[in-house]
């Protein structure tokens, strides 16, 4: 699956729903969301159950919720046929034959959550990756994915050797957060 195909898919989806918010898009696409209670390592899963597209997301995902939802939405748009009962997508186990799918879903999430013009103008102002992540309130790894993709599409001009692209399974290292109210 080429990067351009994924980019077009995201653009048409945004046009269709008039929003970049994954929650709204999921609602508009009539995908079911189910919470996973009390998970330690599992963040999200995607599966088609009896012809119903279903996203499972950890109830403790916290600020990662948007990232995980966008990632699962990527599985929905790009790999729905493969998510029959033979394959499961979820964000803890890295399997070699799944890693290409995870990479594509990450790319989808990066395109969905980050606006082209916004990030381009910020990069021209000289922001570094950490600052970009803070300014756009997005995950740093998604920023890296997005920048390397923008360079490939020749929308911005950066020396390719200066880029750092994360592994396809970076979401694996993320853990659900237990919110401790006492500490505040």
Partner 1 sequence: MNFGEKLRKFRQDNNLTQVEFAKQIGVGLKTLSLYENSQRFPRKMETYQKIANVMNCDYNYLLEDTDEFLARVAGEYGQSEARKAKAYTEGLSSLFAGGELSDEDKDAAFQAITKAYWAAKEENKKYGRRKKK
Compare residues 76 and 149 and give the one whose CB is closer to partner 1. Answer: 76
Should residue 163 be labelled a site residue for partner 1 when binding is judged by CB under 8 A? no
**Residue (of 53, 56, 100) closest to 80 by Cα position:** 53
Note every long-range contact of 25-33, with CB atoms under 8 Å and residues 24 or more positions apart, other chains counting.
Answer: 25/73, 25/112, 26/55, 26/69, 26/73, 29/53, 29/76, 31/55, 31/73, 31/76, 33/57
Q: Indicate the residue among 15 and 85 with the shorter CB distance to partner 1.
A: 85
26, 29, 30, 35 alpha-carbon torsion, rounded to 10°: -20
Does 88 bind partner 1 (CB under 8 A)? Our answer is: yes
Distance CA 18, CA 35 (A): 26
Does 34 participate in binding partner 1 (rule CB under 8 A)?
yes
Stretch of 14-22, 30-38, 100-108, 123-131 contacting partner 1, by CB under 8 A: 30-38
| Side-by-side strand order, sheet with 32-36 | 32-36, 52-58, 44-49, 89-90
Contacting residue, 2, 15, 86, 180, with partner 1 by CB under 8 A: 86
Q: Which of 2, 15, 18, 50 binds partner 1 (CB under 8 A)?
A: 50
Q: State in angstroms the smallest separation of the CB of 103 from partner 1.
A: 19
- What 3-state DSSP class applies to 128? coil
The 3-state DSSP class for residue 84 equals: coil
**Is 82 a residue that touches partner 1 (CB under 8 A)?**
no
Please state the closest distance from residue 72 (CB atom) to partner 1, in A. Answer: 13
Phi, psi (deg, nearest 5) at residue 47: -155, 150
Q: Of 54, 120, 151, 167, which one interacts with partner 1 (CB under 8 A)?
A: 54
> Candidates 51-59, 99-107, 149-157, 160-168 — which segment interacts with partner 1 by CB under 8 A?
51-59
Distance of alpha carbon 175 from the chain centroid = 15
Least separation, in Å, of the C-beta of 86 and partner 1? 7
Residue ranges binding partner 1 (CB under 8 A): 32, 34-42, 45, 47, 49-52, 54, 56, 85-88, 90, 92-93, 95
């Amino acid at each position: 699956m080429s990067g351009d195909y994924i980019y077009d898919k995201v653009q048409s989806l945004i046009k269709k729903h008039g929003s970049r918010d994954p929650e709204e898009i999921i609602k508009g696409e009539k995908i079911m969301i189910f919470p996973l209670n009390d998970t330690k390592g599992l963040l999200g899963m995607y599966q088609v159950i009896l012809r119903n597209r279903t996203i499972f997301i950890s109830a403790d995902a916290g600020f990662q919720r948007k990232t995980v939802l966008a990632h699962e939405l990527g599985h929905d748009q790009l790999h729905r046929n493969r998510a029959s009962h033979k394959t499961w997508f979820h964000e803890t186990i890295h399997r070699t034959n799944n890693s290409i799918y995870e990479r594509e879903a990450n790319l989808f999430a990066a395109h969905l959550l980050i606006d082209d013009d916004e990030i381009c103008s910020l990069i021209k102002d000289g922001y570094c990756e950490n600052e970009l992540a803070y300014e756009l309130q997005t995950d740093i790894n998604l920023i890296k994915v997005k920048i390397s993709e923008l360079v490939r599409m020749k929308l911005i001009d950066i020396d390719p050797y200066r880029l750092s692209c994360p592994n396809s399974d970076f979401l694996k290292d993320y853990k659900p957060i237990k919110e401790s109210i006492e500490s505040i």
